[in-house]
Structure 1
Amino acid sequence: MNTITSAERVEPERRKPILNTVDRVCELCFGLFMALTFVGAVKAVTAGDDAGYKMFHAALGCNLAWGLADAVMYLVRTLVDRGQRLKLVLTVQREMDQAIAVRALREALPETLEPLFEDAELERIRARLALVSTLPPRAHFVRDDFVGALGVFLLVVLGTFPVALPFLVIEDHRTALIFSRVLTLVMLFIAGLALGRYTGAGAMKAGIAMTTLGVLLTMAIIAVGG
C-alpha cells in the first residue's frame, strides 16, 4: 500500500498559459496605443520622400522595443511571484506558533477571497505545507519561463506589426498614416470584442468602448501636431 500522501509528492510546477485572455488583449492594446502615439510623434517631425519608410521603421522599432520590454518584465514578474510563494511556504514551515503561520496564510490571500476561508481550513493547508520536504533554496528561472517570455515578445510584435505595414506598401505617407490609424481602430475594436466576450460585459459594448478610446487618442495626437 502506498503511504505517500499527496502533500509529500513533489510534482513539477505546471506551466501556466503565457498570458490569460485579459492579459493578452491588454498587451495587444498597449502595443497598439504605443505604436499609435509613437507614429504620430514621428509624423510630426518627419518630412521628405522617404517619410513613409522612416515611419515604418519607427513603428516597427516601437513594436520591437515594447515587445522586448514586456518580455523582460514577464520574467521579472514570474521570478518575483515564485519567490513570494517560496517565502510564504518557508515562513509557514519555520514558524513554531501555528496561529501566526495561519495568519501569514490569511494575509497572503486575495482580499476578495480572504473572508471565504475559516481558520480551520487554513490550518489544514498549513499542516500540508509543513509536510513538504523538498524546496529550492531560492526562486530561480526554468526553461518554460523563457519560452513564455518569447511568446510575450512575439505576441506584442506580431500583433502590432500590421500597424506599421501600410508605411511600407503605400508610397504616400499621409495615405499610409490614415490606413495605419484605421487598421489600429479595427484591431482595437476586435480586441474589445474579445475582452467583452471573456468578461461577460458585452462584446459589442466593449468593442465600441475600446474603439472610442482609440479615436480619442488619435484626436489628441492630431491636436498636438501628430
Structure 2
Amino acid sequence: MSQNEPGPVLDPIDRVSEIIFGVLMALSFTGALSVSTAGRQEIRTLLFTALGCNLAWGLVDAVMYLLRTATDRRRKKALLVRLRNTENEQEAYRLIQDALPQLISNVMPPAALQALHRSLLAVHEPPHKLVFRDYSAAAGIFLLVVLATLPVVIPFIFIPKVIVALRVSNLLAVAMLFIGGAALGRYARGKPWVYGLALSALGAALFSIIIALGG
C-alpha cells in the first residue's frame, strides 16, 4: 500500500519484457529486408522506420503503464475504504483473500487474516494519484523499448555489405534475448543459461510468426 516502496523502479520481468518487445519490433523490419536488392537509401529508410516505430510503441507502453498503475492504486484505495465500511468480519476476510495472490490466500489461516485485517485498518489511506516514481518507471519503459532498437539497426550503419550487416544484427538480437533470459533465470532462482536459451528460442519463434503474418 505504500507509495515509497523500496527496490528498483521496474522489476526484472518488466525490464526484460520491454527489451524483448523492442528487439522483436526492430527485427520485424530488418527481417523484411531483401539482401539482394537493398540499397543505401532503402536501408536508411528502414532504420528511420524501425526507430520511429519503436519510439511510438515505447510511448504507448509508457502511457499504458501509467494507466495500469493508476487503476491498480485506485483499486487498493477502494479496498481500504470497503474494509473500513464493512462491519462483518467474514466479509472483510473475503475481501482480503480476493486481493491476495491465490497461492497465499489458500494457505492463510484465520488468525493471520485477522491480524492482516487489523493492520490494514491502521494503514493511512494512500494517495491514488501518480507520483514521480511512476513517471520515472514510464520513462524507463520508453527508453528500454527505444534503446533495444539500436543493437539491431547499428550494424547497417557501419557495415556496408548488407548480408554481413544482417547476420551481425541477428546475432546481436539473439545475444540480447539470451542475456534477458539469463536475467529472468536469476530472478526466478533458476539456471540462467537454460532461461537464456529458452528465451532465445522463443524469440526466434515469435520473430518467425511476426514475419509470416506480415509484421
Q: TM-score range by the shorter chain?
A: 0.7 to 0.9
Structure 1 residues 200 and 157, CA, compared in 2 at 3 Å: closer, same or farther?
Answer: same
1:107 maps onto 2:98 in alignment: yes
Query: Which residue, 130, 133, 153 being the options, matches 1:164?
Result: 153
Q: TM-score under structure 1 normalisation?
A: 0.81
Counterpart AA for 1:187: M
Query: Contact between 2:2 and 2:126, CA under 8 Å: does it hold in 1?
Result: no
Q: Distance in 1 between matches of 2:38 and 2:208?
A: 21
Counterpart AA for 1:144: R
CA RMSD of aligned residues (A): 2.9
Structure 2 residue aligned with 1:121: 112
1:148 maps onto 2:137 in alignment: yes
Structure 1 residue aligned with 2:199: 210
1:96 maps onto 2:87 in alignment: yes
Structure showing greater Rg: 1
How far does the alpha carbon of each residue in 1:62-106 deviate from its partner, in whole angstroms, 9 at most, with x for none? 221222122112111211111111111111001121221111111
Q: Distance in 1 between matches of 2:206 and 2:171?
A: 13
Sequence identity (%): 41
Matched residue pairs, number? 214
Counterpart AA for 2:119: R
Structure 2 residue aligned with 1:39: 30
Structure 1 residue 37: Cα displacement: 1.6
How far does the alpha carbon of each residue in 1:101-159 deviate from its partner, in whole angstroms, 9 at most, with x for none? 111111111111112212222122222333345554xx211122111211221122223
How far does the alpha carbon of each residue in 1:160-185 deviate from its partner, in whole angstroms, 9 at most, with x for none? 32112122223344433232222111
Counterpart AA for 2:164: T
Structure 2 residue aligned with 1:64: 55
Q: TM-score under structure 2 normalisation?
A: 0.84
Structure 1 residue aligned with 2:188: 199
Unpaired segments ≥5 residues, structure 1: 1-9
Unpaired segments ≥5 residues, structure 2: none
Q: Distance in 2 between matches of 1:223 and 1:127?
A: 55
Query: Contact between 2:70 and 2:130, CA under 8 Å: does it hold in 1?
Result: yes
